[in-house]
C-alpha cells in the first residue's frame, strides 16, 4: 500500500488519538488510560460489565495493533512503525478491518449509549469522542451531523463503522475519512 499525503495526515491524526499520554508513542497504557477516561465520562465504575467489556476490547485493539506494528519489540509503537505497518498492509481489506472494529464499536456503544436506545445522540457522541480521542466539541458535533444521514439526531454502529472504513480506505477528500477526527 502506498501512503499518499492525505492518508499520511489521517494516520498521523489517528496515531495522536491513540497516544493518550501524548509522549509520542502508543503503548498498552495509552489504551488503559483511554478506557478509564471513557468509562469515567459516562459514570461507570471499573466493575461495571460494560466498562469491563470496553476495556477488554480496547486491549484487544492494542494487541492487534502491537502485533502488526511493533517491529522492534519494545512494547511501544512509534509513528514511523505505525506508518510502516500500513505500507505492509496492516488493515488488508475492509472485511478484515471489520473483524476488529465491529466488536470494539459494539462495546463502545454499550458504554456511550447512555440512554440505552441503541444509538448515539449528539451529546453522547460528543462525550465519547472527547474522552476517547481528544476530538473537540465543535468537531464532534460536526461529525455527528454528517453521520446522521436521516436527520433524526441519532447515529448507530453501522454509521460509525462506515465512517471508520472510509477513514482508512477512502481517498475522498469530502468523505467521512476526511473529517472523522476533525480537520486534517
For residue 68, how many C-alpha atoms fall within 13 Å in the half-sphere facing its CB?
19
Q: How many other C-beta atoms are found inside a 10 Å radius of the C-beta of residue 2?
A: 6
- Whether the pLDDT of residue 167 is over 80: the answer is yes
Quick: pLDDT tens for 77-131: 999 999 988 877 666 666 667 877 888 899 999 999 988 899 999 999 999 999 9
Instruction: State the Cα–Cα distance between residues 64 and 48, nearest whole angstrom.
Output: 24
CATH number of 5-175: 1.10.238.10
Rg, C-alpha atoms of the chain? 16
Q: How far apart are CA 152 and CA 8, in angstroms?
A: 34
Residue 153 binned pLDDT confidence (cut-offs 50, 70, 90) = very high
Q: How confident is the model at residue 93, as a pLDDT? A: 62
C-beta pairs of 89-92 under 8 Å, 24+ apart in sequence: 89/1, 91/168, 91/169
Taking the domains of the chain in order of start, what are their residue ranges? 5-175
26 DSSP β-pair partners: 77
Amino acid at each position: 500500500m502506498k501512503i499518499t499525503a492525505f492518508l499520511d495526515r489521517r494516520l498521523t491524526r489517528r496515531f495522536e488519538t491513540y497516544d493518550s499520554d501524548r509522549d509520542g508513542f502508543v503503548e498498552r497504557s495509552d489504551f488503559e488510560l483511554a478506557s478509564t477516561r471513557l468509562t469515567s465520562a459516562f459514570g461507570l465504575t471499573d466493575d461495571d460489565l460494560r466498562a469491563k467489556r470496553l476495556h477488554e476490547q480496547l486491549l484487544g485493539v492494542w494487541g492487534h495493533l502491537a502485533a502488526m506494528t511493533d517491529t522492534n519489540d519494545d512494547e511501544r509503537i512509534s509513528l514511523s512503525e505505525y506508518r510502516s505497518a500500513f505500507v505492509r498492509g496492516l488493515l488488508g481489506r475492509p472485511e478484515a478491518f471489520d473483524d476488529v472494529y465491529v466488536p470494539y464499536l459494539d462495546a463502545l456503544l454499550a458504554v456511550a449509549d447512555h440512554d440505552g436506545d441503541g444509538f448515539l445522540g449528539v451529546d453522547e457522541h460528543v462525550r465519547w469522542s472527547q474522552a476517547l480521542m481528544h476530538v473537540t466539541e465543535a468537531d464532534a458535533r460536526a461529525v455527528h451531523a454528517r453521520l446522521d444521514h436521516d436527520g433524526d439526531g441519532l447515529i448507530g454502529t453501522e454509521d460509525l463503522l462506515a465512517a471508520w472504513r472510509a477513514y482508512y480506505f477512502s481517498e475522498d477528500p469530502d468523505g467521512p475519512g476526511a473529517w472523522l477526527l476533525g480537520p486534517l
